């Protein structure tokens, strides 16, 4: 999985019908310090994440292992909202403190 920040949403009314009802979030990848790496992706939302939240997303076939994305042409899914993480014993991100 990759750490990322939700920065926006994509609207697409004309799409493969199985994608109806899925919310598309734009994500900026961050490194273990919480800094943007320059990488980005559009992911389906499986956990009710909102803009500004730090999340984990899964890619590839693993992105279809949620109720929201099963059997759909979806290759990235937000499957967790991050509370905090630490690196080498130091708290690098804490929801609320670092948003």
| From 46, 50, 96, 99, residue interacting with a copy of itself (rule: CB under 8 A) | 46
For position 32 contacting a copy of itself by CB under 8 A, the verdict is yes
**At a CB cut-off of 8 Å and minimum separation 6, what does 99 contact?**
52, 53, 54
C-alpha 46/C-alpha 37 separation (Å) is: 24
CB of 55 to a copy of itself, least distance (A): 8
For position 85 contacting a copy of itself by CB under 8 A, the verdict is yes
For position 47 contacting a copy of itself by CB under 8 A, the verdict is yes
| From 35, 84, 98, 99, residue interacting with a copy of itself (rule: CB under 8 A) | 84
For position 45 contacting a copy of itself by CB under 8 A, the verdict is no
3-state secondary structure of 63: helix
- Give the distance from CA 88 to its chain's centroid: 24
DSSP 80-92: EE--EEEETTEEE
DSSP bridge pairs for 77: 44, 58
Return the structure tokens found at 62.
């693993």
Site for a copy of itself in 11-30 (CB under 8 A): 11-16, 18-19, 24, 26, 28
Residue numbers at the binding site for a copy of itself (CB under 8 A) = 1-3, 7-16, 18-19, 24, 26, 28, 31-32, 40-44, 46-48, 51, 56, 58-66, 69, 71-77, 79-89, 92
């Amino acid at each position: 999985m990759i750490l990322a920040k939700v920065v926006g949403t994509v609207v697409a009314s004309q799409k493969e019908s199985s994608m109806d009802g899925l919310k598309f979030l734009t994500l900026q990848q961050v490194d273990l310090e919480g800094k943007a790496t320059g990488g980005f992706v559009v992911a389906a939302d499986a956990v009710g994440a909102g803009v500004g939240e730090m999340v984990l997303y899964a890619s590839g076939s693993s992105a279809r292992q949620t109720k929201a994305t099963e059997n759909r042409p979806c290759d990235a899914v937000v499957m967790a909202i991050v509370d905090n993480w630490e690196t080498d014993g130091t708290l690098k991100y804490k929801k609320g403190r670092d948003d």
